[in-house]
Amino acid sequence: MPFFNHQGLRFSTVALGMMVLPAYAQDAKSDFTPQQQDEIREIVRDYILQNPDIILESVAIMQARKKAEEDALAKAALVDKRDALERNPDDPVLGNPDGTVTLVEFFDYQCGYCKSMLGPLQAMLKDNSDVRVVMKEFPILGDASVIAARASLAADRQGRYLEFHTALLNYRGRLNEQVIMQVANEAGLDMKQLVKDMNSGEVQAQISQTYELAKALSIEGTPAFTIDGQLIPGAVNHDQLVALIESARKSASN
């Protein structure tokens, strides 16, 4: 992260102050003469230069308010969009399709943390037969991620999602179209049908819906999980997964 010397801080502070001054002067325009407005600007400018922390404090407060507003909107979206999160019939599901506890994962095949989640998720599903995991293909790490997501959803239409999904997450190295198609072929997919489905409007629409859903929930990175009205950003370990499942199970039984 770059740092600033005193001159740089002073310049940045003045710049921020100058952004505030026009708005203040505009509000006061009907009450003060042009000369008085100039004097007010000078007074405020001098005060800011002598007390630069006030601008930094104001920015911090504004950022905190914005974050609180975004968090509130995301929390409301978790409730409003729960069906879209958990019950979209087109989304691939791992574990028990009829499970009473639902975990949703937003992920990208080129995300190292997403790859690291494969083992904990498999272990959790092995020990929890009442859990269903909804997979949200959320390709945000480049063109190869988009191709992988489209291929994965196309594989789901052939009933081979788990095989392809597992093989692709286990692949070590950078993905490209050739690698993705090779993995698909080795997973026993009908390649002609795969390409057709990858290029279908339905698959593209499904990915677009996931983008929109992630935006509504303020999800900007992968992996991200939702469960029982909660958003959990970032990777979690096996014990944390189990704790989340147990909590959701208790909630469902009440």
pLDDT tens track for 42-81: 888 888 888 888 888 888 888 878 777 777 777 777 889 9
Say if residue 4's pLDDT is above 50: no
User: Is the residue at 17 inside a domain?
Assistant: yes
pLDDT tens for 132-186 read 999 999 999 999 999 999 999 999 999 999 999 999 999 999 999 999 999 999 9
Task: Provide the number of structural domains found in the chain.
Answer: 2
232 with 131, same domain? yes
Q: Are residues 117 and 156 in the same domain?
A: yes
Query: Are residue 75 and residue 96 in the same domain, yes or no?
Result: no
Q: Is residue 171 part of a domain?
A: yes
**What is the extent of the structural domain holding 111?**
83-253
141 shares a domain with 70: no
Q: How large is the average pLDDT for residues 23-33?
A: 59
> 87 and 59 in one domain?
no
Q: Is 162 among the domain residues? A: yes
Quote the mean pLDDT of the chain. 87
Please identify, among 79, 96, 117, the residue that sits at the C-terminal boundary of a domain: 79
Q: What's the whole-number mean pLDDT along residues 4-20?
A: 43
Final residue of a structural domain among 47, 64, 79:
79
DSSP string, the chain: -----HHHHHHHHHHHHHHHHHHHHHHHTTTS-HHHHHHHHHHHHHHHHH-THHHHHHHHHHHHHHHHHHHHHHHHHHHHTHHHHH--TTS-EEE-TT-SEEEEEEE-TT-HHHHHHHHHHHHHHHH-TTEEEEEEE---S-HHHHHHHHHHHHHHTTT-HHHHHHHHHH--S---HHHHHHHHHHTT--HHHHHHHHTSHHHHHHHHHHHHHHHHTT--SSSEEEETTEEEES---HHHHHHHHHHHHHHHH-
pLDDT at 3 > cutoff 50: no
Give domain status of residue 1, yes or no. Answer: no
Which of 38, 59, 79 is the C-terminal boundary of a domain? 79
| Mean pLDDT to the nearest integer, 118-130 | 96
